[in-house]
C-alpha cells in the first residue's frame, strides 16, 4: 500500500534522517520526501513523506516506532498509483453487452474508473465499436483485465484491440 504521511520532527540535526529510518526498518520503500522548514510549529518542522509498505501491520509498527521517537504524526492517508488501459472492441454487440462485460470485469478487478465511448453507427453496417478506458490500481489488475477482455471477446467473436 502507498501511504502519505505528514510528520512534525524536532528542529535538531539528525531528526529528519531519524524520521525516515523507521520506514526502512519495516521494509518500506520511500517514494518522495518534502522537508518544509517554513512550517515550524512548537520548534518542530514539517516533513511530508510518501512511502510504500506491504501491509497494515507494518504500517502500525511504523507508527509505533515514530511515537516512541517523539515524532508527531499530524496526517496520514492512503494514496494509490493507478494504471490506465484502453480497450477497443469491434463487432456485433449492443451497449447492454458492454455494460454487462464491465459488470463482470468488476468482479475480477477493482476499477478506479471506467469510461466507454461508442462510434456512431455507419449506414447499414450493424457492426459497432466501443472504446473502454479503464483505470485500475496495479499492473497485476491490468494483466487480469487484459486476460478477461481477451477471453470475453474471443467467446463473443469480437475483435479486441488493447493499448500498449
Partner 1 sequence: MKIVIAGFGTVGQGFAEVLLKRRELLVDRYGHVPAVVAVIDSRTVVRDRQGLDLSAVLACKKETGCVGTEKYTDPIKVLDSLDYNLLVEVTPTDLKTGGAGLVNITHALESGKDVITVNKGPLALQFSRLIGLAKEHGCKFRFEGSVGGAMPIINLCHENLVGERITSVRGIFNGTCNYILSKMDNGQPFDQALKEAQQMGYAETDPTNDIEGWDTAAKVVILANSVFHRNVTIRDVNITGISTITPDAIALAASHNMVIRLIGEVSDTKLEVSPRLVPRGHPLSIGGTLNVAQIDADFAGPITITGRGAGRIETASAILSDLIAIMNIRDKGEGKHA
Residues lying near partner 1 in the complex (CB under 8 A)? 86, 88, 90, 117-119, 122, 125, 127-131, 133, 159, 161-164
Chain CA centroid to CA 141, Å: 10
Shortest Å, Cβ 129 to partner 1 = 5
Shortest Å, Cβ 119 to partner 1 = 4
What whole-number distance in Å separates Cα of residue 7 and Cα of residue 45? 8
6/86 with CB nearer partner 1: 86
Q: Exposed/middle/buried for 135, CB within 10 Å: 0-12, 13-18, 19+?
A: middle
47/130 with CB nearer partner 1: 130
Shortest Å, Cβ 48 to partner 1 = 29
26/89 with CB nearer partner 1: 89
Q: Exposed/middle/buried for 51, CB within 10 Å: 0-12, 13-18, 19+?
A: buried
What whole-number distance in Å separates Cα of residue 15 and Cα of residue 4? 19
103/125 with CB nearer partner 1: 125
Amino acid at each position: 500500500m502507498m501511504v502519505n504521511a505528514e510528520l512534525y520532527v524536532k528542529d535538531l540535526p539528525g531528526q529528519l534522517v531519524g524520521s525516515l529510518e523507521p520506514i526502512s526498518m519495516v521494509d518500506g520503500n520511500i517514494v518522495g520526501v518534502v522537508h518544509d522548514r517554513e512550517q515550524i510549529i512548537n520548534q518542530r518542522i514539517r516533513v511530508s513523506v510518501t512511502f510504500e509498505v506491504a501491509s497494515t501491520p507494518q504500517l502500525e509498527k511504523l507508527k509505533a516506532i515514530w511515537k516512541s521517537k517523539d515524532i508527531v504524526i499530524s496526517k496520514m492517508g492512503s494514496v494509490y498509483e493507478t494504471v490506465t488501459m484502453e480497450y477497443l472492441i469491434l463487432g456485433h454487440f449492443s451497449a447492454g453487452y458492454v455494460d454487462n462485460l464491465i459488470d463482470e470485469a468488476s468482479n475480477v478487478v477493482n476499477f478506479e474508473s471506467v469510461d466507454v465511448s461508442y462510434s456512431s453507427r455507419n449506414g447499414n453496417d450493424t457492426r459497432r465499436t466501443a472504446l473502454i478506458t479503464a483505470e485500475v490500481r496495479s499492473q497485476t489488475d491490468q494483466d487480469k483485465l487484459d486476460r478477461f477482455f481477451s477471453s470475453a471477446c474471443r467467446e463473443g467473436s469480437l475483435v479486441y484491440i488493447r493499448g500498449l
